[in-house]
Amino acid sequence: MSIERELNKRSGSKCELCAATENLKVYEVLPTKKGGIDESIMACSTCIDQIETPGNEDLNHWRCLNDSMWSEHTAVQVVSWRILSRLRSAGWPQELIDQMYFDEDTLAWAQATGEGEDDENKVVHRDSNGVILEVGDSVVLIKDLKVKGSSMVAKQGTAVRNIRLDHENAEFIEGKVDGQTIVIITQYVKKI
């Protein structure tokens, strides 16, 4: 059974965040480990647009999270936490966050994109041109890189998709090159 069909069945053909029934799509909650239904949600185009465009949120639209944050599905909880964290300065989202409880792994997944961190403490990753990198972005290598601890050389022009960020060091990102996960220094990549 396809992921879309399974999510439609799970959600009752509704957005798992706001319960809209129009323009539904599968939204993969990054970063993923295995992919699949457990790391995806069914969401409407309005929710997806606001998730992917920080600063474009309609505060009243997200009042729906008062219900969806209690979903039995971890991916829905994670997205709810991320949006509430982004909007917490409005007051009521912080009250909802305070009611949520996650085990360590789920909280680490929710925080993986940097949501919930204060802007002055947030580590910002930038490519060689100064463009901000986000979890899940695709980059291209701008020079040949020798991979430490192996004989592999990652060639200039290699595309690295679905990157992960090191939340302690703005200089490092992770991505797969030739099936091997490697750490890449941000000054040697350009966002695609």
* Cβ(69)–Cβ(94) below 8 Å: no
Distance from C-alpha of 57 to C-alpha of 61, rounded to nearest angstrom: 8
Are 18 and 64 in contact by the 8 Å Cβ rule? The answer is yes
Q: Which residues in the chain are classed under CATH 2.30.30?
A: 138-191
Task: Using pLDDT thresholds of 50, 70 and 90, give the confidence band for residue 162.
Answer: confident
Q: In angstroms, rounded to a whole number, what is the distance separating the alpha carbons of residues 30 and 97?
A: 20
The two three-digit tokens of residue 148, written as one number: 């430490």
How many Cβ atoms sit within 10 Å of the Cβ of residue 116?
Answer: 16
Fold classification of 138-191 (topology level): SH3 type barrels. (2.30.30)
4-59, pLDDT tens digit by residue?
A: 999 999 999 999 999 999 999 999 998 888 889 999 999 999 999 999 888 788 99
| Tens digits of residue pLDDT in 68-113 | 999 999 999 999 999 999 998 888 999 999 999 999 999 999 988 8
